[in-house]
């Protein structure tokens, strides 16, 4: 059975049920989406909530018993206008269909008819048996904030009740792992309305994790021959006109700022600044490849309604770098970035990932630089790299950057969600836009400088969201904000415990101590909730030099070892990033 057809049919059934219960609503459209479907509806003065969904779901189950099959009818523009007189949303879609010269079709099942292009199950009353309505949200008509706000009802549907049950269980697990929930519990970050939506305020625990990830990146980049640079957060309009980001990317940038010496923009990307660094001094063929790296903060003008915790923000620190290379170096440089990305993934324990070659579309030259020969050459090079590295990849049209093709690294999360974790782009435009060149072996100026853009660890915000959910807040020792937590048995043991804290700090171990006037049991329960890797209860014996009794996260049996041996054990785990 075609899953998309199944879910689209369920969207029809949802609309039919809503119309039975709320006859005055105006239906708009209801597509199938990944893992489900939705229908956007204008409820007028009625406010729908999740408490209303069970009644709608029950009506769906009643109606489907009479849904034998879908039938379709081709109608003229005038007939369609008559059917949907009074529904401005359907009329708008009808005019769009007619303007494109496409056929207007109505699909009927049971007593319900809807404007639709098709794609349904053959026997709905048999097929539509495993569905559930999930949530209610607001959605602008056609995604335009200047248009009316509609009510969007989300649902999901599967072929079998067993599949539906498994999916719902996965969603429950996703709730437990939600990075917003864990981020609050572990005091990693917060977003403050007075500061602004989508602008993350990192707390000490979150900064510790960020710093550990950046430390890893610094080490890997130093070993890979990168040099680090730092660039301003803003730049003049001329820079972004030269790069081509204006006008292609202007809607995603913060509005311009008029200053006494010109017009400035907040940077939404680091590459134009890096191109100017490349131009700062002349380069020989011996200097290439030049690899410039920066954890640069950039700003994107995302609509407030699209912001979602750390997954979609307005200010982000990007694990960015640009490689300036000769034409004969492209493949080796691209392979090196892919290998680095896979090394990172191994360290973080990502196993389910694949690559996606995102290409241009010659039918949409308004989105891309119209240089067909460069597109063909660069796409062929990247395809050869993927084939030579023998990795799993797919090809997708019309998803490239405006200046060149890219390879996206797709990751399947532990809760089944597909994410674009990393992006590697090949840029053939910068060399002409910025006049990038080098002196070749003959002493001549060569302007065939290709730029590889890469962010293997994405941006801190998005990457941290993924990691929080990947680990469910159970951080590996090397990343954990607190690696060892010490619980003094009583007030008389606090001074000795503090001295032990100093020893751990001197050894490079992050340690905390609970000096509260509470029972040992309560202190241990509090520490366990924070998911610290190791908990030490310190009393007379431990302070007199006897072996420590170590509570290990996720392990029922305690371990016993000397303080010196334990310090070495933790140091080793940190060093090898276990």
Per the annotation, binding residues for Zn(2+) are 271, 322, 453
For the annotated binding site, the residues are 271, 322, 453
Please tell me the distance from the alpha carbon of residue 533 to that of residue 484, in angstroms, as a whole number: 6
DSSP string, 205-230: HHHHHHHHHHHHHHHHHHHTT-EE--
Nearest to 299, CA basis, from 274, 265, 267, 251: 267
User: Do 578 and 553 form a contact (C-beta atoms < 8 A)?
Assistant: no
User: Do 257 and 264 form a contact (C-beta atoms < 8 A)?
Assistant: yes
Q: 112-115 and 257-259: which strand pairing? A: unpaired
Residues 143, 148, 150: CA angle, nearest 5 degrees: 75
Residues 6+ apart with CB under 8 A from 118: 72, 105, 107
Q: Tell me, what DSSP letter sits at residue 327? A: G
Q: 393-396 and 438-439: which strand pairing? A: unpaired
Please tell me the distance from the alpha carbon of residue 360 to that of residue 352, in angstroms, as a whole number: 26
Q: How far apart are the first and last CA of the chain?
A: 44
User: Do 71 and 110 form a contact (C-beta atoms < 8 A)?
Assistant: no
Tokens 């409820």 belong to: 43
Please tell me the distance from the alpha carbon of residue 540 to that of residue 490, in angstroms, as a whole number: 10
Query: Measured over all CA atoms, what is the biggest interatomic distance in the chain, rounded to whole angstroms?
Result: 93
Please tell me the distance from the alpha carbon of residue 485 to that of residue 537, in angstroms, as a whole number: 9
Query: Which two tokens mark 334?
Result: 């691209």
DSSP, collapsed to helix, strand or coil, labels residue 169 as: helix
């Amino acid at each position: 059975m075609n899953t998309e057809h199944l879910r689209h049919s369920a969207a029809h059934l949802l609309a039919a049920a809503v119309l039975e219960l709320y006859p005055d609503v105006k239906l708009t459209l209801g597509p199938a989406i990944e893992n489900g479907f939705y229908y956007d509806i204008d409820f007028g003065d009625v406010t729908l909530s999740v408490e209303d969904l069970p009644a709608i779901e029950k009506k769906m189950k009643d109606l489907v018993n009479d849904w034998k099959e879908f039938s379709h009818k081709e109608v003229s523009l005038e007939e369609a206008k008559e059917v949907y007189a009074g529904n401005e949303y359907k009329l708008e879609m009808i005019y769009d269909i007619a303007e494109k010269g496409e056929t207007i079709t109505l699909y009927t099942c049971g007593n319900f008819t809807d404007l639709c292009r098709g794609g349904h199950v053959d026997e709905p009353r048999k097929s539509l048996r495993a569905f559930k309505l999930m949530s209610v949200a607001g959605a602008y008509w056609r995604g335009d904030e200047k248009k009316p706000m509609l009510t969007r009802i989300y649902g999901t549907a599967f072929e079998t009740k067993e599949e539906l049950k498994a999916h719902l269980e996965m969603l429950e697990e996703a709730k437990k792992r939600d990075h917003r929930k864990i981020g609050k519990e572990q005091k990693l970050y917060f977003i403050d309305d007075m500061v602004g939506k989508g602008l993350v305020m990192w707390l000490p625990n979150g900064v510790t994790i960020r710093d550990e990830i950046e430390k890893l990146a610094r080490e890997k980049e130093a070993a890979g021959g990168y040099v680090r640079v730092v660039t301003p957060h803003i730049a003049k309009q001329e820079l972004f006109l030269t790069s081509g980001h204006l006008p292609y990317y202007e809607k995603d940038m913060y509005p311009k700022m008029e200053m006494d010496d010109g017009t400035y923009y907040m940077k939404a990307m680091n590459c134009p600044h890096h191109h100017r660094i490349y131009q700062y001094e002349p380069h020989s063929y011996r200097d290439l490849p030049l690899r410039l790296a920066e954890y640069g903060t950039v700003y994107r003008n995302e609509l407030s309604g699209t912001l979602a915790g750390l997954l979609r923000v307005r200010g982000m620190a990007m694990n960015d770098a640009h490689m300036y290379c000769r034409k004969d170096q492209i493949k080796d440089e691209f392979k090196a970035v892919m290998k680095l990305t896979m090394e990172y993934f191994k360290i973080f324990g990502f196993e389910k990932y694949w690559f996606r070659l995102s290409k241009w579309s010659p039918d949409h030259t308004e989105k891309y630089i119209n240089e067909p020969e460069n597109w063909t050459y660069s796409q062929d090079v990247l395809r050869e790299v993927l084939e030579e590295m023998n990795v799993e990849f797919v090809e997708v049209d019309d998803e490239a950057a405006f200046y060149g093709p890219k390879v996206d690294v797709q990751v399947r999360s532990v809760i089944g969600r597909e994410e674009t974790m990393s992006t590697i782009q090949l840029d053939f435009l910068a060399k002409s836009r910025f006049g990038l060149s080098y002196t070749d072996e003959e002493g001549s100026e060569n302007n065939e400088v290709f730029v590889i853009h890469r962010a293997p660890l994405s941006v801190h915000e998005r990457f941290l969201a993924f990691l929080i959910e990947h680990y469910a807040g159970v951080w590996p020792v090397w990343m954990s904000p607190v690696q060892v937590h010490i619980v003094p048995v009583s007030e008389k043991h606090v001074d000795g415990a503090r001295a032990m804290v100093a020893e751990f700090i001197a050894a490079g171990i992050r340690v905390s101590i609970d000096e509260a006037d509470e029972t040992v049991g309560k202190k241990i329960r509090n520490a366990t909730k924070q998911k610290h890797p190791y908990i030490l209860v310190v009393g007379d014996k431990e302070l007199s030099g006897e072996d420590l009794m170590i509570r290990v996260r996720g392990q029922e049996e305690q371990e016993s070892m000397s303080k010196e041996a334990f310090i070495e054990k933790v140091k080793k785990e940190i060093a090898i990033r276990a």
